[in-house]
Amino acid sequence: MSESPLLIEDQGAVRVITVNRPDKLNALNSATLDALHHAFDDAAADDAVRVVVLTGAGPKAFVAGADIAEMADLRPVEGRDFALRGQAMMRRVETLPKPVIAMVNGFALGGGLELAMCCHLRIASDTAKVGQPEVNLGLIPGFGGTQRLLRLAGRAATLELCLTGAPVNAERALALGIVNRVAPAAELQAQTMALAEQLANAAPLALRGVLDCINTGGESAIGEGLAFEAAQFGLMFATEDMREGTRAFLERRKPEFKNR
């Protein structure tokens, strides 16, 4: 059997998934897309996992895109299937019922930015560069880039990044709302793990409620989204963690959440 293109490690309740093809700047070939899909299925099913951190191996890249060598000779139907395969994996990440943080440790280009954007939060190293350079290859984004960037950063930024293909640095990515935070490269891991720990100690069903509202309600008309939010809010009153959280506040102590 060939070696897995991923490294998977648990640090307490935080699962760290690392794309591990550093000699190819962690480019996403079919095997890596499938391995990621399985890894996120496993993370969803494992109750011990509360948060996932996704990153790339080596000092240079998060993910430098879909694998250009694998794509170069595809025919149209194969190209469509490749896009659908990547999109399905990224939708799996986006709809995970627990938070996923992209630790963007370098280049996040093409499929790499698309992968970061399907995560719920993004922390970038101050050395990172992000972009959608597909037009330089005579291609367009195919793993959701035109759609998620539009929702994340608006039309002006999406048109600029996708039409010019030029990457932006971490500071500009932050200003455009593409990443949530920028950390000095030496502090990226510590800051990401601190955020992951914070989320791992929060009430899991409340986090899931927020993710569901934003994923499902956020794609609806405002009336439907608000109705969905009210229903999810009501559902929280069925959880032990909601009783614990409100009681702990009133008793001036720290809550202990149990995922129930």
* Enzyme catalytic residues: 114, 134
Percentage helix, strand, coil, to 5, in the chain? 55, 15, 30
- Nearer to ligand COA by Cβ, of 15 and 24: the residue is 24
In whole angstroms, give the CA distance from residue 23 to residue 36: 18
In the list 14, 27, 90, 178, the residue contacting ligand COA (rule: CB under 6 A) is: 27
In whole angstroms, give the CA distance from residue 255 to residue 56: 34
Least distance between ligand COA and beta carbon 43 (Å): 25
Paired tokens of 15: 């699962």
Paired tokens of 87: 């999109």
In the list 68, 135, 174, 185, the residue contacting ligand COA (rule: CB under 6 A) is: 68
Least distance between ligand COA and beta carbon 66 (Å): 4
The total number of residues written for the chain in this structure: 260
What track of x and - describes contact with ligand COA for positions 219 through 238 (by CB under 6 A)?
--------------------
Least distance between ligand COA and beta carbon 136 (Å): 6
In whole angstroms, give the CA distance from residue 60 to residue 69: 19
Least distance between ligand COA and beta carbon 129 (Å): 8
In whole angstroms, give the CA distance from residue 83 to residue 182: 29
The answer to whether 157 contacts ligand COA (rule: CB under 6 A) is: no
Paired tokens of 33: 């897309």
Stretch that binds ligand COA, among 67-75, 176-184, 215-223, 242-250 (CB under 6 A): 67-75
What track of x and - describes contact with ligand COA for positions 113 through 152 (by CB under 6 A)?
--------------------xx--x-x-------------
Tell me the C-alpha to C-alpha distance, in Å, between residue 198 and each of 97, 103, 117, 176, 192.
17, 15, 21, 25, 10
- Nearer to ligand COA by Cβ, of 111 and 255: the residue is 111
In whole angstroms, give the CA distance from residue 132 to residue 152: 14
Q: Residue 190 in contact with residue 125, Cβ under 8 Å? A: no
Contacts of ligand COA in 78-117 (CB under 6 A): 107, 109-111
Least distance between ligand COA and beta carbon 69 (Å): 5
Question: Which residues of this chain interact with ligand COA, rule CB under 6 A?
Answer: 24-25, 27, 64-69, 107, 109-111, 133-134, 137, 139
